[in-house]
Amino acid sequence: MIKKKNSKIRIFSGTRPTGFLHLGNYLGGLKGYLELQDKKDYDCIYSVVDLHGITSPYDPKTYQDQIREVVLEYLACGLDPKKCHLLVQSQVSEHMELAYYLSTIYPVSRLEQLPTYKEKKKEQPQYVNLGLFYYPVLMAADILLYKAQFVPVGKDQAPHLEVAREIARIFNRRFGQTFPEPQAYFMPSSYIPSLTGEGKMSKSKEGSYINLISSLDVIQKKLAKVPTDAGKGKKIPNKGGVDVLLKLIELFQGKEKRKNYENLYLGKGVQYKLLKEELAIAIYKELKPIQAKRNYYQKNPKLVDGILKQGKVYASKIAKQTIQEVKEKMGIV
């Protein structure tokens, strides 16, 4: 681990404000944020990446509410302004400035090949804009602006992290050592599959997710729809609905519980109705205090405004220094 004398290890991550957070965001992203904010010598900046959010269809009238929702849920899950800084990306315009500089050193052909870009093109064929294409460069700028060394994200972000690493390498080679090569920090739960049994849990796929603000009733209904099988067999399924259920059982009820169900599956059979009822209760038990905390912060908007203001001031200071250094190295000042 590279660590300068007297300096902390910088962490950066972000979430798009595309609606309420779901279990994938919580287990794959936020759990990592929480773990790292508790480490001594780590300096964490966590952001709502609103400039990334506008590369997909969105409603400008409700966008500010969506940004606020992510901030509330960040705080509710335990991000603590005493241990980390919270930032709304667009409030530090240097993100865009650095993205432009970095875009001039990165080949178009590499971006065209990215699986994330190809997927998005399929998902939103009427909305294939330049911003969408540029998305990984802006993400690299987010990370490099703060010279972050670790980036807690879900596995779906691995290709984007590779772009950020490559951009750092190219920049350093051409203009002299400037950026550390950022590394992804994956949690054991870094890939949460969709409740439909196909692909990943995602906000853009209806029926695939459970939100953090879901009631017990909603969780029960969502789990009830997860496709299952006869409940017994010679091999534990490693894909589809049963695999999703087992993963969630492990994460919310523990490894032991999962093992019990696996033994039943290989033996006298699993009763999915009971399994789903128990799982719904376990998930809700973890979400209930988060929901209460979210409501507390919602009722205290001044407190939240203050936290964001502090985050902006802190991040701006670092951002300005990096931009100055980059401009000098690139010969623009």
| Binding residues vs ligand AMP (CB under 6 A) | 15-16, 18, 24-25, 28-29, 153-154, 156-157, 190-192, 200-202
The one of ligand TRP, ligand AMP, none whose footprint includes residue 201, by CB under 5 to 8 A per kind, is: ligand AMP
Residue 16 interacts with ligand TRP (CB under 6 A): yes or no: yes
Look at residue 68 and give the partner it binds from ligand TRP, ligand AMP, none, a contact being a CB closer than 5 to 8 Å depending on partner kind: none
142 is in the binding site of which of ligand TRP, ligand AMP, none (Cβ under 5 to 8 A by kind)? ligand TRP
Between 76 and 99, CB nearer to ligand TRP: 99
For the chain, the three-class secondary structure string (H helix, E strand, C coil) is CCCCCCCCEEEEEEECCCCCCEHHHHHHHHHHHHHHHCCCCEEEEEEECHHHHCCCCCCHHHHHHHHHHHHHHHHHHCCCCCCEEEEEHHHCCHHHHHHHHHHCCCCHHHHHCCHHHHHHHHHCHHHCCHHHHHHHHHHHHHHHHCCCCEEECCHHHHHHHHHHHHHHHHHHHHHCCCCCCCEEECCCCCCCECCCCCCECCCCCCCCCCECCCCHHHHHHHHHCCCCCCCCCCCCCCCHHHHHHHHHHHHHHCHHHHHHHHHHHHCCCCCHHHHHHHHHHHHHHHHHHHHHHHHHHHCCHHHHHHHHHHHHHHHHHHHHHHHHHHHHHHCCC
Does residue 284 touch ligand TRP according to CB under 6 A?
A: no
Q: Segment contacting ligand TRP (CB under 6 A): 153-161, 204-212, 254-262, 292-300? A: 153-161
CB of 43 to ligand AMP, least distance (A): 19
Residue placing its CB nearer to ligand AMP in the complex, 43 or 156:
156
Asked if residue 210 binds ligand TRP (CB under 6 A), the reply is no
Q: Which of 157, 189, 194, 253 binds ligand TRP (CB under 6 A)?
A: 157
Restricted to residues 49-78, the positions that interact with ligand TRP (CB under 6 A) are 49, 52
> Pattern of binders to ligand TRP over 86-125, x per CB under 6 A?
----------------------------------------
Interface with ligand TRP (CB under 6 A): 12-14, 16, 49, 52, 139, 142-143, 151, 153, 157, 160
